Chains A and B, each alone.
Chain A
C-alpha cells in the first residue's frame, strides 16, 4: 500500500508549545511528549461543557460526564485491541499500574520462595514495586542479563525460568537504551512454566502498534503523557479472569458495591480498582491523544522516527569520541551516548544553551547503567514531530561542544 511521505513539519504545527517556541529542539520525548491541540481542546471542552462527577449523580450533566469517561475507556481498549473495555483500569500512569498489580495480584497470589523475573533493562518503576513485595513476602527477584549490545540474553532467560517462576516483568522498549526485547519469545517461554507476564509499554505506546490479544501477555501498562496525552493518567490492561480474581488495593468510593459496618462488598472490575473520583478530564485528554495517534499512518510514523534515529546514529558512529550505548537490532527511536572525554551532563548543558533539550542521567534504570559500567548517559529520544534538521542542528552542536570540552 503506498503511503504518503510522513509530514512531521506539518504535524509540528499541531503542537502549540512547539509552534510558540520555533527555536526549541525537543529531543526528550521518552521523558514526556508535547501535547497536540486536539488533547488540549478535549480537556478544555470537557470542562466547558460537560464537567460533573462520574458514576454518581442522576442529572444530565453527570450522565454526559460518565459517558465521556467510559467512552475514553473504550478508546483505550480499542487502541490496545483489548477484548473488552472492562479490561482497562485507569491509573495515574505506568508506575501506579505496576504497583496495583504488585499489591493486588502479587499479594494475593505469591508466597515465600516464589520468583519474579525482571530484565536488566527495566525502569525502576518495574523493579521497586516487585522488591517491596519481595521484602514483604519472601519472594526472589531474578534479573535477566544483557548481551554487550543491550539485547536480552535469551539463553540466560531460558535458564532462569523454572517452576518457582510466577511472573516475568519486562519492558516492550527500554527507555534508557532503546532495546525492544523479543516479547513474543519472552511470553512463549514464560508460558512453558505457567508464569504470568507483565509488559511495561510506557515507551512503546507512542511508537508501536500494540495488540494485547495477539501479544498474549497477562498485564500491560502505559502512561498517557508519553503518548501525547496528559499527565496523571495511564492504564492497566489485564485479562478479565485475572482482574475478576484480584482483590481491591485501595479503598474508597466507586470501588464498592455496598458498605456497612458488618462488611463491605466490592464493585466489579475495572471499578474495583478505581477508588475515589477518577481523573475524568485527563482520561478524556488521553482518549483524544490516542485517537490522534490512531488517525496517523502508524507505519509511516515508525519509519519516520527510525529514519531520524539512523541519520543520527550513522553520523555518530563515524566519531571516535562518542560511543553508542545499546546497539541492539530493531531498537526504538532513541539513542543513548557516552563520551570518551566529556561528561554527559556537561554536553547537555552546552546543548541546552542552544535550545536543544536532551536528558542525562541514569534514566531511572540504575541496574542497567551498572551493567554497562556507566553512571550516566546522554539520551536523545525522538517523536513524531521531530524533523531531520533537528538531527543536523544537534550534530553541529555536538561537534562544537565536544571540541570545546576536549
Chain B
C-alpha cells in the first residue's frame, strides 16, 4: 500500500532539517515500484537535466492512473508525493490540485525553485495537460 496524502504530510512535517527530509524521501522511494525497462522509453521520459523521470498516465473508470519512476531516489521520493496527489483523481479535480502549495507546506519548497532542472515541473505540467 502506498502511503496516503495525510500520512505523508504527517511524516514530512514531523521531520525537520533538509538532511532528515532527504532521508525520508529516499525511504519513501522504496515504496514506489521500479518501472520495467520496457516502459522506460523515450516517449515516457520527461525532460529534466539533472535526473531522468518517466511518467505513464491512463484513465481507468474515469479516474487518472499514474505510473512514475526516476533514476534518482530523492526525485522518486517526490514522485510518491505526485502519486498521492494525483493518482485516482477524477478529470475534473486535477486542475484544482495545488501540488506546489503542498510541497511548500511540507517544507520542500527548495525543490520547486529547481523544478525546471529536476523535471518535477514538467511532470506536473504533463499530468495537468492530460486532464
A residues sitting closer than 8 Å to B (CB atoms) are 342-346, 349-350, 352-354, 360-362, 375-376, 404-405
| A58, B74: Cα distance in complex, Å | 60
A362–B50 CA distance with the chains assembled, in angstroms: 7
Question: Are B19's CB and A346's CB within 8 A?
Answer: no
Query: A343-B71, A361-B49, A375-B71 given. 15 additional CB < 8 A pairs?
Result: A343-B74, A345-B75, A346-B72, A349-B74, A350-B19, A353-B19, A353-B22, A354-B19, A360-B50, A361-B117, A362-B49, A375-B52, A376-B50, A376-B51, A405-B73
Flag whether B17 is at the interface (Cβ < 8 A).
yes
For residue B49, which residues in chain A have a CB less than 8 angstroms away from its CB?
361-362, 376
Determine if B117 and A349 form an interchain contact, defined as CB atoms under 8 angstroms apart.
Answer: no
What are 5 pairs between A and B in contact, CB < 8 Å? Answer: A345-B118, A350-B19, A353-B22, A360-B50, A376-B51
A348 to B75, CA, bound (A): 12
Bound CA–CA A181/B73 (angstroms): 36
Q: Is B23 an interface residue (CB 8 A)?
A: yes
B118 contacts which chain A residues (CB < 8 A)? 345
Chain B residues, Cβ within 8 Å of A354: 19
B32 close to A (CB within 8 Å): no
Q: How far is the CA of A346 from the CA of B23 in the complex (A)?
A: 10
Residue in B17, B23, B51, B117 whose CB lies within 8 Å of A343: B51
- In Å, the complex CA distance between A361 and B75 comes to 14
| Chain B interface main SS type | helix
- Shortest CB-to-CB span from A388 to chain B, Å, is 24
* Nearest-CB residue, chain B, relative to A350: B22
User: In whole angstroms, how far apart are the Cα atoms of A277 and B48 in the complex?
Assistant: 36
Q: In the complex, how many residue pairs between chain A and chain B have their CB atoms under 8 Å apart?
A: 44
A349 & B22 in contact (Cβ 8 Å cutoff): yes
Closest to B29 in A: A346
Q: Known contacts A376-B50, A405-B26: does B73 contact A343 (CB below 8 Å)?
A: yes
Quote the shortest CB–CB distance from A12 to chain B (angstroms). 24
CA distance A349 to B52 in the complex (A): 15
A residues in contact with B72, CB < 8 Å: 343, 345-346
Q: Does B18 contact A (CB under 8 A)?
A: yes
State how many angstroms separate the Cβ of A380 from the closest Cβ of chain B. Answer: 16
Which B residues are CB-close (under 8 A) to A346? 22, 26, 72-74
Chain B CB count within 10 A is highest, among A342, A349, A353, A354, for: A349
**What distance in Å separates the Cβ of B97 from its nearest Cβ neighbour in chain A?**
25
Bound complex: CA of A361 vs CA of B119, how far in Å? 12
CA distance A350 to B18 in the complex (A): 8
Give every chain B residue within 8 A of A342 (Cβ-Cβ): 73
- Min CB gap B111→A, angstroms: 9
Nearest-Cβ distance from residue B120 to partner chain A, whole angstroms: 12
Nearest CB in chain B: distance from A255 CB, A: 35
B-side contacts of A404, CB under 8 Å: 23, 26
Can you name the residue of chain A whose Cβ is closest to the Cβ of B18?
Answer: A353
Within residues 93 to 131 of chain B, which ones have a CB less than 8 A from any CB in chain A?
117-118
Bound: A155/B26 CA distance, A: 46
Q: Enumerate chain B residues within 8 angstroms of A352, measured Cβ to Cβ.
A: 18
Q: In the assembly, what is the distance between CA of A346 and CA of B19, in Å? A: 11
How distant is B114 from chain A, measured CB to nearest CB, in Å? 10
Taking CB atoms, residues of chain B closer than 8 Å to A375 are 51-52, 71
Q: How far is the CB of A25 from chain B (nearest CB, A)?
A: 15
Q: Which residue of the partner chain A has the closest CB to B75?
A: A345
User: How far apart sit A375 and B54, CA to CA, in the bound complex (Å)?
Assistant: 14
**B17 / chain A contacts, CB cutoff of 8 Å:** 353
CB distance from A118 to the nearest CB of B (A): 21
**Nearest Cβ distance between residue A404 and chain B, in whole angstroms?**
7
A241→B118 CA distance, assembly (Å) = 46
Q: Which residues of the partner chain A approach B51 to less than 8 Å between Cβ atoms?
A: 343, 345, 375-376
- What are the nearest 10 A-B pairs in CB distance? A353-B18, A353-B19, A343-B72, A345-B72, A345-B51, A361-B50, A345-B50, A361-B49, A346-B74, A349-B74
Closest B residue by C-beta to A342: B73
Nearest Cβ on chain A to B19's Cβ, whole angstroms: 4
Q: Kindly list chain A residues whose C-beta atoms are within 8 Å of the C-beta of B26.
A: 346, 404-405
How far is the CB of A24 from the nearest CB of chain B, in Å?
14
Interface residues of B in 37-90 (CB under 8 A from A): 49-52, 71-75
Cα of A362 to Cα of B51 in the assembled complex, Å: 9
Query: What is the chain A residue whose CB lies nearest that of B119?
Result: A345
**Which residue of A has the minimal Cβ distance to B25?**
A349
Of the listed residues A342, A343, A350, A405, the one surrounded by the most CB atoms of chain B closer than 10 A to its CB is A343
Nearest A-chain residue to B17, judged by Cβ: A353
Bound-state CA distance A354–B117 (Å) is 21
B65 CB, nearest partner CB in chain A, Å:
26
